[in-house]
Amino acid sequence: MKFAFFDAKPYDKPSFELYGKQNDIKFKYYDTKLNEDTAELAKGCDGVCVFVNDDVSAKVIDRLYELGVKLIALRCSGYNNVDVKHAYGKIHIVRVPAYSPYAVAEHAMAMLLTSIRRIHKAYIRTKDFNFSLSGLTGFDLHGKTVGVVGTGKIGRIFIDICKGFGMNVIAYDKFPAKDSGINYVPLDELYERSDIISFHCPLTEETHHIVDKSSLDKFKKGVILINTSRGALIDAEALLEGIKMRKIGGACLDVYEEEADIFFEDFSGHIVEDDTLARLISMPNVLVTSHQAFLTEEALDNIAETTVHNINEFFANGACTNELCYHCGKIGECKKSRLSKCF
Ligand code: NAI
């Protein structure tokens, strides 16, 4: 089988080569992202393998369908970049629902600690033999209230980590987990009570800009926001305003609303056109990582292993466990039976 592998990075290849060779799957690696112009590269391939910032919109799906592509294999769990409704009945989609929720939850905590204990500042100072402590005062996490939005795989691990620090945890989820012992509160109450808020819900129409200008009035003064989920959960302009008003005390961003053409690439010798991102990065209390939360050895191995497993399962007859379709997840509407594919 042949797969066009879009947005390939050097760290992707070793694990995909290993599992690909073991399973007779040839990956054709392309640095470019999938979009209307590059879809042509999938000609002659059975499927495409894509990541978070590839464009899998209706027009791209139609072109892939014309080219005879049978499977879109997402090598990530989020699928907000895919028009799943449009793909239904045309091309099947599989994803990697979990590869290392620990990687993301641990990164969220790493960003929080770095930010509030000013580790990023201290690192640069001591590299320059500057041992002054001025301006490095942080605060204890112990006893602080953390609000967790989205209590799925990652959110729950983050909750456990926070409990280890002696923090009070409150949470909001559209579908609260029964008998989990999690202290659920309405979103507005979470915004009002939390010293720190961490987002672990998917990007949907409902969660788009779950932080906007109106949220600023609700937040506690000095709140720290952590977003390792998807950039568009937070309206970046509102975030900037909240920081300038001193209402938001810090932001730890692994994702950014307009990251698609910027993150994962080296722009160190270029002028970055995005003024909002440039302004955010210039703030002393904003920490940005480039969609890095997933990037551990364990996660990369799991991503490749599960993707190859998904491809094998799809081309064998019968159900494909990690298939994703327009109806999947909609209670009462999912057509997938245990014995067959979604359509
Ligand atoms: P999950 O599916 O296990 O959990 C998501 C949770 O969000 C569920 O409990 C769900 O009920 C809840 N939710 C759904 N709609 C909601 C709403 N409107 N309001 C509040 N909660 C809502 O997903 P998982 O594995 O925990 O991942 C969470 C997110 O993390 C993914 O959607 C993805 O966007 C992001 N992610 C980021 C990575 C990174 O490298 N930065 C890597 C992997 C995932």
Instruction: Delimit the domains of the chain by residue range.
Output: 2-99+297-317, 101-288
**What pLDDT, on the 0 to 100 scale, is given for residue 230?**
95
In words, the CATH class of domain 2-99+297-317 is: alpha beta
Query: Is 101-288 the same fold as 2-99+297-317?
Result: yes
**What pLDDT, on the 0 to 100 scale, is given for residue 168?**
98
Q: What is the three-class DSSP state of 131?
A: coil
Query: Angle between the 13-22 and 297-315 helix axes, to the nearest 10 degrees?
Result: 30
Indicate if ligand 1 lies below 6 Å from the C-beta of 152: yes
Integer-rounded Cα Rg, in Å, for the chain is 21
Indicate if ligand 1 lies below 6 Å from the C-beta of 222: no
**What pLDDT, on the 0 to 100 scale, is given for residue 338?**
62
The CATH number of domain 101-288 is 3.20.20.70: no
Query: Closest Cα partner for 196 from 121, 285, 296?
Result: 285
Query: Angle between the 101-116 and 119-127 helix axes, to the nearest 10 degrees?
Result: 70
CA of 217 to the centre of ligand 1 (A): 25
Rounded to an integer, what is the distance from CA 309 to the centroid of its chain?
22
**What pLDDT, on the 0 to 100 scale, is given for residue 126?**
98
Indicate if ligand 1 lies below 6 Å from the C-beta of 209: no
CA of 210 to the centre of ligand 1 (A): 13
**What pLDDT, on the 0 to 100 scale, is given for residue 295?**
96
Indicate if ligand 1 lies below 6 Å from the C-beta of 149: yes
CA of 150 to the centre of ligand 1 (A): 6
CA distance 277 to 302: 32
CA of 229 to the centre of ligand 1 (A): 7
Which residues are known to be catalytic?
230, 259, 291
Q: Which residue's structure tokens are 């112990």?
A: 142
Per-residue pLDDT of the chain (343 residues; tens, 9 = 90+): 999 999 999 999 999 999 999 999 999 999 999 999 999 999 999 999 999 999 999 999 999 999 999 999 999 998 999 999 999 999 999 999 999 999 999 999 999 999 999 999 999 999 999 999 999 999 999 999 999 999 999 999 999 999 999 999 999 999 999 999 999 999 999 999 999 999 999 999 999 999 999 999 999 999 999 999 999 999 999 999 999 999 999 999 999 999 888 998 899 999 999 999 999 999 999 999 999 999 999 999 999 999 999 999 999 977 888 999 988 877 677 777 667 888 8
Q: Which residue's structure tokens are 């592509």?
A: 69
pTM of the model: 0.92
Give how far Cα 232 sits from Cα of 35, 133, 296, Å. 20, 36, 24
**Nearest atom (ligand 1) to Cα of 177:** 9
Strands 223-227 and 196-199: parallel
Indicate if ligand 1 lies below 6 Å from the C-beta of 242: no
**What pLDDT, on the 0 to 100 scale, is given for residue 324?**
93
CA distance 5 to 50: 6
Strands in 168-172's sheet, in edge-to-edge order, are 168-172, 145-149, 196-199, 223-227, 248-253, 286-288
CA distance 136 to 113: 12
Q: What angle do CA 133, 134, 135 make, to 5 degrees?
A: 110
